[in-house]
C-alpha cells in the first residue's frame, strides 16, 4: 500500500490539470488546489494564466 495516498486535507495536495490557451490553443498545464489555480503559468504566446487568490470564506456581508 502507498503510504502517501489518502492524505485528505493536506494543503500541498496539488492537482495537475490542463486547458487550451484561449489565445493560441496550445495546451497549458497548471496546478490546482481545491479547484483553484495555485501557480501562474505563462504560455509561449505570452498569455498569462493567473494564479487565483485563496478564498477561504466570504468576508464581506451582503446587504
The footprint of Zn ion (CB under 5 A) covers: 21, 23-24, 26, 43, 45, 47
**Nearer to Zn ion by C-beta: 21 or 38?**
21
Categorise residue 34: left if φ over 0, alpha if ψ from -120 to 50, beta otherwise. left
DSSP-assigned letter for residue 34: T
**Nearer to Zn ion by C-beta: 45 or 55?**
45
**Nearer to Zn ion by C-beta: 23 or 52?**
23
Question: To 5 degrees, how large is the angle CA 15–CA 9–CA 30?
Answer: 15
Amino acid at each position: 500500500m502507498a503510504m502517501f495516498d489518502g492524505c485528505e486535507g493536506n494543503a500541498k495536495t496539488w492537482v495537475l490539470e490542463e486547458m487550451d490557451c484561449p489565445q493560441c490553443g496550445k495546451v497549458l498545464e497548471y496546478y490546482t488546489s481545491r479547484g483553484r489555480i495555485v501557480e501562474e503559468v505563462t504560455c509561449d504566446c505570452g498569455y498569462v494564466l493567473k494564479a487565483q487568490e485563496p478564498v477561504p470564506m466570504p468576508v464581506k456581508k451582503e446587504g
